[in-house]
Amino acid sequence: MSGSENTGLWRADGAGVLRLPSGRLVRGRGLRRPLPEGDAPDFGVYLLGKRPPDVPWESRWLRWPDFRVPSDRGRARELLGEVWERAAGERVEVACGGGRGRTGTALACVAVLDGVPAREAVAFVRAHYDRHAVETPWQRRYVARFGG
């Protein structure tokens, strides 16, 4: 599936867009940076220690302190599953403050849901999203265990 097949998807070459092996596109970004130009998300999941500001699209907040792992792992699995499912036909974004640690960790987990082996998911996200994604040892461990 490519962005040209459905106007409800990201452009594959858009800023922060990760193409999963299935062809699904998910945008990662840092909330401390300006919103990228172009289409707005249809759905967003925001990974922050405190509630994010309201946005004009459907969104969910996952409590996830900086440099850590999600406070509620069951809720994280649920929301990241929703990211993966909705990315089949909607513009979905995942974002934290800087767009690397928590966002990269979440994107790696979504890649696991898409079929990337958990032990390879961090390298996949670093190669296709941001080479500095997934910043801490416990975030890497969280991804490795996400597939189990």
**Which pTM was predicted?**
0.94
Q: Domain limits of the chain? A: 3-146
Classify residue 13 by its DSSP letter.
T
Classified as helix, coil or strand, 120 is helix
CB 145 within 8 A of CB 118: yes
Per-residue pLDDT of 82-127, as tens digits, reads: 999 999 999 999 999 999 999 999 999 999 999 999 999 999 999 9
Render pLDDT for 10-43 as a digit per residue (tens, 0 to 9). 999 999 999 999 999 999 999 999 999 999 999 9
The half-sphere exposure of 104 on its side-chain side, counting CA atoms within 13 A, is 28
Q: Can you tell me the distance from the alpha carbon of 81 to that of 112, in angstroms, rounded to the nearest whole number?
A: 10
- For the domain spanning 3-146, the CATH number is 3.90.190.10
> CA-CA distance, 118 to 113, in Å (whole number)?
9
- Measured in whole angstroms, the distance separating CA 73 from the mean position of its chain's CA atoms is 15
